[in-house]
Amino acid sequence: MATPQNPTNPTGAVRSLMTELGKGAFWAVLIRGILAVLFGILLLAAPAAMAVALGIWVGAWLIVDGALEITHALHARRQNLSWGWELGAGIAYVIGGVIIMIMPLSFAVMGGTVILLMMASGMLIRGILSVASKSFKGWSKAVGVLDMIFAVIMFIVVFSNPGAALLALVWIIAIYTIILGIFLIIMASVGRSHTKQAFGN
């Protein structure tokens, strides 16, 4: 008959796993939290600069990815394989990347506008479906009506004053990132402390 394990006295495998978590994983979570807080603060302090940096990063990524795509297409051509569409896609990526790197702020503004329009569209569709559904009643339908109202407001703000809408989106992302980072830092600290208490250094 097997002897039940004492939960406070884990097996060697579990102890080894928790020890590794205490030494490595919690530090990784802590670093993620610190980076998230720093990113959120930078986003609040200099949203335009962060938008430009994001545009440059995306543009550089598209150029590198497009160059690799072109290289692969030329290799496929030498192997008598299908290569035309791949070559076209690679060229398009490179051209798009160059344009974005030339106008990174415009790319960020357009990208943010698209995100806001997608959010508003999703809220509007969800609201319509909630109100039209027979399975939703009472508060569920009220939430659906609120979704539609907020969606209409978002559409109006985006088209009438896109700058203010994008600034609000940046603030929301920044605040969310800071809160997430603080949560990760607390989680890492508490987890590390519990591991030390249970297993020592």
pLDDT, tens only, 140-191: 778 888 889 988 988 888 888 877 777 887 888 889 889 989 988 888 777 6
- List CB contacts of 52: < 8 A, sequence separation 6 or more: 104, 105, 108
Q: Which domain holds residue 51?
A: 28-190
Q: What is the pLDDT of residue 46?
A: 86
Who wins on pLDDT, 10 or 85? Answer: 85
Average pLDDT score over the chain: 80
Has residue 169 been placed in a domain? yes
Question: Is it the case that residue 13 has pLDDT exceeding 50?
Answer: no
Is the pLDDT assigned to residue 8 strictly greater than 50?
no
Q: Give the pLDDT confidence score for residue 94 in this predicted structure.
A: 94
Task: Single out the residue of 96, 97, 112 nearest to residue 157, CA to CA.
Answer: 112
- Distance from CA of residue 178 to its chain's centroid? 14
Q: Is residue 90 part of a domain?
A: yes
pLDDT, tens digit (0-9, with 9 covering 90-100), for 24-67: 567 777 888 899 999 999 889 988 888 888 889 889 999 999 99
The count of C-alpha atoms lying within 13 angstroms of the C-alpha of 14, restricted to the half-sphere facing its C-beta, is 10
Residue 145 in contact with residue 131, Cβ under 8 Å?
yes
| Separation of CA 135 from chain center | 33
Domain assignment present for residue 174? The answer is: yes
Whether 10 has a pLDDT exceeding 50, the answer reads no
Q: In this predicted model, which residue has the larger pLDDT, 2 or 151?
A: 151
Residue 15 lies in a domain: no
pLDDT of residue 200: 54
Q: Is residue 124 part of a domain?
A: yes
Residue with tokens 């998230």: 36
**pLDDT (0 to 100) of residue 134:** 75
Residue 75 makes CB contacts below 8 A (sequence gap 6+) with none
- Within a domain: residue 199? no
The pLDDT tens digits for 63-114 are 999 999 999 888 888 888 888 888 899 999 999 999 999 988 888 888 888 8
The tally of domains found in the chain comes to 1
Q: How many CA atoms are closer than 13 Å to the CA of 165, on its beta-carbon side? A: 24
Residue at 5 is within a domain: no
The more confident residue out of 56 and 192 is 56
Residue 11 has pLDDT above 50, yes or no: no
pLDDT value, residue 48? 81
DSSP string, 187-200: HHHHHHHHHHHHH-
Asked whether residue 129 is domain-assigned, the answer is yes
